[in-house]
Each structure stands twice: as C-alpha cells, then as structure tokens.
Amino acid sequence: MSRLNPPVSVTDHRAGPDDAPVTLVEYGDYECPSCAQAQPIVREARRALGKNLRIVFRHFPLSQMHPHAVRAAEAAEAADDQGKFWEMHDRLFAHQDELEDADLVRDARELELDAALFERELTTDMHVDRVREDFRSGMRSGVNGTPTFFINGRRYDGQWDLENLVEALEAEIG
C-alpha cells in the first residue's frame, strides 16, 4: 500500500479542520473528466462527515493527455494568492472545456479577483514550480492516474462512489 509522501502540511490546500480525525488527500487534474465526476462526491463526503473530515487537494496534471491541465493548476494557484483557491478549483472542474488563458482570466474576473495580477502571474509562470512540486510528491506517493485518493496517509484503492468512500472515511474515525 502506497503512503503519502510528503505528509499534509500547512502549504497544502486544505478545507475542513486541521484537527479532523480523517484527512482525504486527492491528487487531481483539472482537465480530467473522472476528477470532475469525483468533485460532487468529495463535496458530499465532506458534508456528511462535517468536522470529522479535512480535504486536501494536490495538483497532478497529466499534461500529455490534458494539454491545459498545467495552466489550469497554475490558475488555481494564482487564485490562491488572492484567497480564492477553492472557488477557482470548483470553477475549473465545472468548466473543463473552457481552460484557455482567456477563459481563465474571465474566470478570475467573475470571481472578483484582481484580473491584471492574475494574468501577470499566469504569463510569468509564477506558479509552475508549485504545480511541479505537487506532481513530484504524487510520483513519490505512487500516483499514476487521477483522481488518486489517500485517507490518513494511505492510498485508497477502493471505489470512490459516495457510499464506498464515506464508508472508508468513517472507518478511520473509529
């Protein structure tokens, strides 16, 4: 069984309490249809477990299959600089067919970000190192496709439909 490497830290994108008994880490790709299908399941699992679950997202863009995935991940990082990572995260998955730079800047405007700053960060590849860092951590953790989930640091290879995922998460609560 693969282990998460490195473990979750304050540099990760986290939602939910840091002291939650269960942490679900997802390695995902904003252009991956399966990742988009997983998002409402993860959201519902978070709602079902409430304060018992912390969600973490790490970038794993499969750029050979998904040519816009790296840029979309950079856009999420640029939005994070303005405090709106999760809002951009949700928007990117909801609009996977609109990931050109102009689309990303439009998304930034619609999220009421400083669009000029956002665009400048994209055009200078300011966040590419962060995206690569997440990708390398996925490789060290045995990730070879998306979405890949880890529950409390251990790779989850079960079905990620709502019932099975919640069951696995609840098993960790004890």
Residues of the chain with pLDDT under 70: 1
User: Domain of 166: which CATH number?
Assistant: 3.40.30.10
pLDDT at site 73: 98
Residue showing tokens 């880890």: 150
pLDDT at 1: 67
Strand partners, 59: 28
CA angle 156, 95, 49 (to 5 degrees): 35
Whole-number pLDDT of residue 68: 98
What size, in residues, is the chain? 174
Q: Is residue 2 part of a domain?
A: no
Residue 104 lies in a domain: yes
Q: For residue range 8-58, list pLDDT tens digits in order.
A: 999 999 999 999 999 999 999 999 999 999 999 999 999 999 999 999 999
Distance of alpha carbon 101 from alpha carbon 128, whole angstroms: 15
The pLDDT assigned to 10 comes to: 96
Model confidence, pTM: 0.97
Half-sphere exposure of 134 (CA within 13 A, CB side): 26
DSSP category for residue 141? T
Q: What are phi and psi of 123, to 5 degrees?
A: -70, -20
Do residues 56 and 13 lie in contact, with contact meaning Cβ atoms separated by under 8 Å?
Answer: yes
The phi, psi pair for 131, rounded to 5°, reads -65, -45
Residue 1 covered by a domain:
no
Number of domains in the chain: 1
Assess if residue 7 is contained within a domain: no
Residue 26 belongs to a domain: yes
Amino acid 174: pLDDT: 74
Domain that holds residue 87: 13-173
